[in-house]
Amino acid sequence: MTEKEKMVQGLPYFASDKILVAERMRARTVLRELAAIPEQSVKQRASLLRSFFGSTGKRLYVENTFCCDYGYNIHVGENFYANFSCTILDCAEVKIGNDCMLAPNVSLLTAHHPFDPSERRSGLESAAPIILGNDCWVGGGAIILPGVSLGNNVVVGAGAVVTKSFGDNLVIAGNPAKVIKHL
């Protein structure tokens, strides 16, 4: 089994694998191209993202500077918006529903490293998917960790650290995030 196959299946893998390194370098080239497209060139930016992401709706917009590992593991629905300095580490799939917005400095992080220091030093890591339902709004500086799923109509408060999954129609906030309000 290749390191990429292990990564996609959520098994421990070596990110230093030359195929994975080459794919991350390709992604950085695409991200530099995206950053060079003027903000007012909405159609050109969307076209590049549609060819880069795993799947998209017809309408999407991502502000500069956007960072990700691979691009092909990112799937966004219709009317997706990511504000400035969004980071999506897509070692596993990231699925984002329709009508979702990410505020500035949001991080969706699928990668995680072993707790054991000798395993960590070996370069071994793993990843778990992140899923956001429809109509999610993730506030500024929020961090969503590996394996988290959020239901439909979830608002994540600014600065929240989301360490576990939550259902529909909620406002969550804090570190670790907890339910603040039912919608």
Q: Give catalytic residue positions.
A: 113
> 17 vs 12, 14, 29, 88, 122, CA distance in Å?
12, 6, 19, 20, 13
d(CA 148, CA 105): 18
Tell me the sheet residues that pair with 101.
81, 137
Transcribe 135-181 into DSSP letters: T-EE-TT-EE-TT-EE-SSEEE-TT-EE-S-B-SSEEEEETTEEEEE
d(CA 174, CA 160): 5
Q: Is 135 left (phi over 0), alpha (psi -120 to 50) or beta?
A: left
